[in-house]
Amino acid sequence: MCIIWIDTLKKYNDNFRYVCDPVLGDNGKLYVPKELVDVYRKEVIPLANVVTPNQFEVEQLTGISVKTMDDAKRAIRALHDLGPDLVVITSMVLDDHHEDTIAIVASQRGVVNKKDGKTTEDHSWWIESPILQGDYTGTGDLTAALLLAWTAKDPDNLGNVLEKVVSTMYTVIQTTQKQSDGTVAGKELKLIQSKRVIEEPPKLFEAKRLF
């Protein structure tokens, strides 16, 4: 049913954008039955405008082992070929990068401007930040929400969007770390306390053009 109404909304609303965060697993383990990987690949992701897998999820969806940035480029192209215009791999620890950093890649496939009929240029950006230790509830949801908001507000500047998203996430997680009491509830992201950061992100990290 979900697939049907997404397809219907896309047909009748030109402004509708569907962000798919394929919550399949992490750290080498699936959270869901393996059969769902094919459902996402064949039915869900082709409807998405934006897809935001982590490193493990992109490997499951594409069959490509992502160990280096070149691997990530190939995986990005494979995901674009499934349908989404915007592909974001939200967290990668790569062999060709420092082991204490997380790399994030965002790639925008050229789209046709409905006003002038011109096609925008394909472009991809990457950014990295230090790894913050700990597991926190809601990081994937907040990342997807920030991507949706900032790409809508600044659709022609993917590098700037990536800087805002990553800097916001880093600061929110830092705030959560400092205020956490070690309980399950304490691991929930401190969103209310981070309201100003979410609205006006600092620039902590610089995005670099990948291709």
Which class does domain 1-131 fall in? Answer: alpha beta
Tell me the mean pLDDT in the region 16-30: 93
Q: Tell me if the pTM is above 0.95.
A: no
As a whole number of angstroms, the distance between CA 7 and CA 197 comes to 34
- Note the pLDDT of residue 112: 62
Tell which wins on pLDDT, 203 or 122: 203
Check whether 117 has a pLDDT greater than 70.
Answer: no
DSSP string computed for 134-156: S--BTHHHHHHHHHHHHHHHSTT
- Note the pLDDT of residue 111: 67
Domain residue extents for the chain: 1-131, 133-205
φ and ψ of 67, to 5 deg: -115, -25
- Note the pLDDT of residue 113: 62
- Taking the CB of residue 53, how many other CB atoms lie within 10 A of it? 28
- The model's pLDDT over 40-91, given as tens digits with 9 standing for 90+, comes to 999 999 999 999 999 999 999 999 999 999 999 999 999 999 999 999 999 9
Buried b (16+ CB within 10 A) or exposed e, 97-129: eeeeebbbbbbbbeeeeeeeeeeeeebbbbbbb
Check whether 7 has a pLDDT greater than 90.
Answer: no
- The model's pLDDT over 147-174, given as tens digits with 9 standing for 90+, comes to 999 999 998 899 999 999 999 999 999 9
Q: How many CA atoms lie within 13 A of 187 on its CB side?
A: 10
Check whether 36 has a pLDDT greater than 60.
Answer: yes
